[in-house]
Amino acid sequence: MDFDLSDEQKMLAEQARGLLAERTPYDNLRKLIDAGAEWDEPLWRELAEMGFLGANIPEAFGGLGMGELDLGVIQQELGRVNAAVPFFSSIVLAADAIRLAGSEAQKDEWLPKLASGEVIACFASAEGPGPLLGQGASLDGGKLTGTKQPVADAGVANLAVVQVGDGLALVRLDQAGVTRTRLDSFDQLRPHYRIDFDGAGAEAMPGRGLLPLLLDRAAVQAAFEAVGASEACLEMGLAYVKERQMFGRSLSSYQAIKHKLSDMAVANEVAKSNAYFAGWAAEASPDDLPAAASAARLSAIRAFEMAARENLQVHGGIGYTFEANCHFYYRRERLLAVNLGNRGYWADRLLDALPGAQGKAA
Amino acid sequence: MDFTDTPAEAAFRAEARAWLASHAPAHELPAGIKIPDTEEADRGRAWMRELFDGGWAGLTFPKALGGRGLSGIEAVIFAEEESRYHLPKGPFTSIGTGMALPVIAKHGTDEQRARFIEATLKGDVTWCQLFSEPAAGSDLAALRTKAVRADDGSGDWIVNGQKVWSSWAHLTDWGILVVRTDPTVPKHKGLTFFVVDMKTPGIETRPIRQISGMSEFNETFLTDVRIPDANRIGAEGEGWACCMTVLMGERLGSGAHRSGVEPLVDYAAATPDGRGATMLDDRSIRLQLAEALADERGLNHFQARLRTMVSKGENPGALAGMVKLGYAGRQQRVLGLGMELRGLDALAADPADTFTPDLQYDYIYSTVMRIAGGADEVLRNQIAERVLGMPGEVRMDKDVPFEQLK
């Protein structure tokens, strides 16, 4: 038993953190928002050069062939700096979907390009208000019809992995029959789109019924991202209250503030510990994955929710200004809270994964 | 990261499991029946003796001192296997092994080690803790029980005062005791640590009538209690350092806990919702149970991370307080939820129902977990100060001689 990251994983985290700290100062995020930018393209190129995009893509398909924990370590660092890159869409969801459900030819065609960053993919599932997996799109004779929205990162993507029923299809976005419309997006650093497919050429992936597994694996990675972001919120709040003077003493000396930040720290450690276990389960213990991913998801969102809200709270009025840095996380938190299904889905998944749960509840 | 046993760990687990299978069943407590506390304590001693004879006592205790000198991981494996059985373990055994032994090992003399360690591991000597006082709980160093040297030149100490919350003091053989020996210095500096034979004249224990209806805690009155100087642990004035050693043992823990949440999932599934399904189909209940399960799992994994730190020679320090803080709060919330999902029946169940009375008792007892061994608020302060580096609380009494405090 060893409940810690390996030395290599710690080095990977340090390397990612070093690069990201240098390339993604908060002023840069403000510039991207002011410019209405789709993404931080130079950062994406650098992540590609470092090999991070191919971290968990098998070597046979041009990746580094590392594991889910390694990918998690990178996700944690991307979350820490609120990076404006389509990593979650293209690598965590789309590439993984192709790996799980794609044919050998589809993997050969797309995985190397996704690993190199030459192709960017988005993941299209929802169809307006309601469930994560929409049921209106149809694929008939290689033609896709329907509307998917909102879809993150569709503006910079060349390829879409589209959920159709309980299956998945690959659709090139630069073709007639595909119309992309940018939507006013809550997370200003992750533009969302409406995509209308009007008989667009699409290729079904042979693997079916793999969506729950794909979502479990993505939930683990989202948990790592949330953990990194929660840690950043705690660090930011802590730095602020230590500096701020109030009624003649440091704001950090008030017990109300100390206790709030302690609770954030505990929630972060709980979330991180669940993420570690789930990362290990995704790699090495498939039977444990549904429960582990659900627990990681629930506790990571709980931690991030508290961290994003209370970080802004301890900043007081300054936290409500664009010049402060709390709002990036306050928005990103809601994105992570809804982007893989709500709490109810994951609560059900966790309870249903308990031994003997079948037959206990509908 | 690897959550599976190494070959050596698997072999250790198999050995533990086989030994437990042949020795533990005879010691199991009957399910759902409360036995008298004297009997429970006797059974506790017998199980300790069995562990000792089988070579399973003091697993992480140094070999030179009579333990097995194993790693924390092996202790966890044994605790996991042991927790499959309903064994007589409790404060009457754990105060000795988890508190008295570490302090005697670290601060005691060779003679004291020889006298107490093996006897405690065997269950021949059981212990209670005489720390808290009516006016000194979270602020333990404010304690007033005092010891002065006897005026007969014997070197003995004469102790007067009152202790409280001393678990099982009425049934244990010895107590670990901290008292004030010098009121002329600031409060943390004037304390001295002793072990005391609970049969010494002048010690009177009175059970406290608790809100649970039970009385495992006591008030202990000490009136002219004579303690030989040979029973002093550490130097005069070193009492606070000894207390810190004890409290570290209290926080880190080594046990594997059975899930506190999963039985409530079963309980919900066994409770009709009035619409043809069960309370496990109720959205609100499902959400709350799942959040509690996620929290429980995360905290267990966190505890495992701390054990890995310890096994690599790192000191988790105040991080250990997070485990208890998280556990105690969740227990109270989830047990309260258990009663709520049951409905009116949670208040007065059919006599055939053995689960509901336990749930009621545990809900009452969950208040203790949030107070004892570092109250929630104290732990939050410690985490803020020692983990996050936030300023300490203002301490008006820090440099003032104890006798000058109001």
pLDDT higher for B170 or A186?
Answer: A186
What span, in angstroms and rounded, lies between the C-alpha atoms of A205 and A160? 12
Q: Do B383 and A266 touch (CB under 8 A)?
A: yes
Last residue of a domain, one of A116, A148, A166: A116
Residues A216 and A348 occupy one common structural domain: yes
Check CB contact of B24 with chain A, cutoff 8 Å.
no
Residues sharing a CB contact under 8 Å with residue A190, sequence separation 6 or more, in sequence order:
A84, A152, A153, A332, A335
Check CB contact of A329 with chain B, cutoff 8 Å.
no
What span, in angstroms and rounded, lies between the C-alpha atoms of B346 and B366? 16
Residues A239 and A347 occupy one common structural domain: yes
Do residues A63 and A86 lie in contact, with contact meaning Cβ atoms separated by under 8 Å? no
Domain extent listing, chain B: 7-89, 128-238, 257-387
B-chain CB neighbours of A257 within 8 Å are 390
Phi, psi of B187 (to 5 degrees): -60, -40
Q: Do A351 and B4 touch (CB under 8 A)?
A: no
**Tokens matching residue B75:** 């202790």
| pLDDT(B255) > 60 | no
Give the pLDDT of residue B93. 87
- For residue A204, give how far its alpha carbon lies from the nearest alpha carbon of chain B (Å): 35
Check CB contact of A342 with chain B, cutoff 8 Å.
no
Closest alpha carbon to B325 in B258, B376, B272 = B376
- For residue A104, give how far its alpha carbon lies from the nearest alpha carbon of chain B (Å): 31
Residues A169 and A136 occupy one common structural domain: yes
**Tokens matching residue B349:** 């169940």
Check CB contact of B337 with chain A, cutoff 8 Å.
no
Question: Least CB-CB distance to B305: which of A273, A279, A295?
Answer: A273
Give the pLDDT of residue B75. 86
Q: Decide: helix, strand or coil at residue B334.
A: helix
Question: Least CB-CB distance to A347: which of B2, B286, B389?
Answer: B286
CATH code where residue A226 lies:
1.20.140.10
CATH superfamily of B128-238: Butyryl-CoA Dehydrogenase, subunit A, domain 2 (2.40.110.10)
Give the pLDDT of residue A360. 58
The domain total for chain A is 3
Residues A112 and A57 occupy one common structural domain: yes
Residues A175 and A90 occupy one common structural domain: no
Give the pLDDT of residue B32. 67
Size of interface A-B (CB pairs under 8 A): 175
Residues A104 and A158 occupy one common structural domain: no
Report, as an integer, the average pLDDT of B148-175.
94
> Measuring CA to CA, how many Å separate B381 from each of A39, B125, B298?
41, 36, 22
A-chain CB neighbours of B308 within 8 Å are 1-4
The 10s digit of each residue's pLDDT in B296-314 is 999 999 988 988 888 788 8
Give the pLDDT of residue B247. 77
Last residue of a domain, one of A116, A132, A153: A116
Report, as an integer, the average pLDDT of B51-73.
89
DSSP alpha helix (H) spans, A24-86: 26-34, 41-49, 68-80
Give the pLDDT of residue A108. 98
Check CB contact of A245 with chain B, cutoff 8 Å.
no
Report, as an integer, the average pLDDT of B344-361.
95
The 10s digit of each residue's pLDDT in B85-138 is 999 988 888 899 989 999 999 999 999 999 999 999 999 999 999 999 999 998
Domain ranges, residue A149: 121-204
DSSP class of residue B35? P
A244 lies in some domain = yes
Question: Least CB-CB distance to A3: which of B308, B383, B384?
Answer: B308
- For residue B79, give how far its alpha carbon lies from the nearest alpha carbon of chain A (Å): 15
Check CB contact of A10 with chain B, cutoff 8 Å.
no
Give the pLDDT of residue B256. 52
Has B250 been annotated as catalytic? yes
Check CB contact of B283 with chain A, cutoff 8 Å.
yes
Q: Do B265 and A298 touch (CB under 8 A)?
A: no
Residues sharing a CB contact under 8 Å with residue B280, sequence separation 6 or more, in sequence order:
A351, A360, A361, B265, B268, B269, B271, B286, B289
Last residue of a domain, one of A144, A174, A204: A204
A359 lies in some domain = no
Residues A181 and A100 occupy one common structural domain: no
Q: Do B289 and A347 touch (CB under 8 A)?
A: yes
What span, in angstroms and rounded, lies between the C-alpha atoms of A92 and A150? 18
Residues A264 and A333 occupy one common structural domain: yes
Residues A99 and A199 occupy one common structural domain: no
The 10s digit of each residue's pLDDT in A88-109 is 999 999 999 999 999 999 999 9
Give the pLDDT of residue B252. 53
| pLDDT(B257) > 70 | no
A2 lies in some domain = no
Report, as an integer, the average pLDDT of B208-232.
94
CATH code where residue A199 lies:
2.40.110.10
The 10s digit of each residue's pLDDT in A12-27 is 999 999 999 999 999 9
Report, as an integer, the average pLDDT of B218-228.
97
What span, in angstroms and rounded, lies between the C-alpha atoms of A284 and B392? 44
B-chain CB neighbours of A261 within 8 Å are 384, 388, 390
Question: Least CB-CB distance to A277: which of B3, B283, B389?
Answer: B3
- Enter the CATH code of domain B257-387: 1.20.140.10
Question: Least CB-CB distance to A361: which of B2, B6, B269?
Answer: B269
Residues A135 and A238 occupy one common structural domain: no
pLDDT tens, N- to C-terminus, chain A (362 residues): 788 999 999 999 999 999 999 999 999 999 999 999 999 999 999 999 999 999 999 999 999 999 999 999 999 999 999 999 999 999 999 999 999 999 999 999 999 999 999 999 999 999 999 999 999 999 999 999 999 999 999 999 999 999 999 999 999 999 999 999 999 999 999 999 999 999 999 999 999 999 999 999 999 999 999 999 999 999 999 999 999 999 999 999 999 999 999 999 999 999 999 999 999 999 999 999 999 999 999 999 999 999 999 999 999 999 999 999 999 999 999 999 999 999 999 999 999 999 876 555 44
Give the pLDDT of residue B10. 94
A-chain CB neighbours of B394 within 8 Å are 253
Q: List the catalytic residue out of B50, B74, B216, B250.
A: B250
- For residue B312, give how far its alpha carbon lies from the nearest alpha carbon of chain A (Å): 10
CA atoms within 13 A on the CB side of A248: 0
Give the pLDDT of residue B253. 52
Closest alpha carbon to B92 in B132, B51, B22, B39 = B39
Give the pLDDT of residue B254. 46
Residues sharing a CB contact under 8 Å with residue A86, sequence separation 6 or more, in sequence order:
A39, A44, A120, A122, A152, A153, A156, A157
What span, in angstroms and rounded, lies between the C-alpha atoms of A357 and A350? 10
Q: Do B291 and A361 touch (CB under 8 A)?
A: no
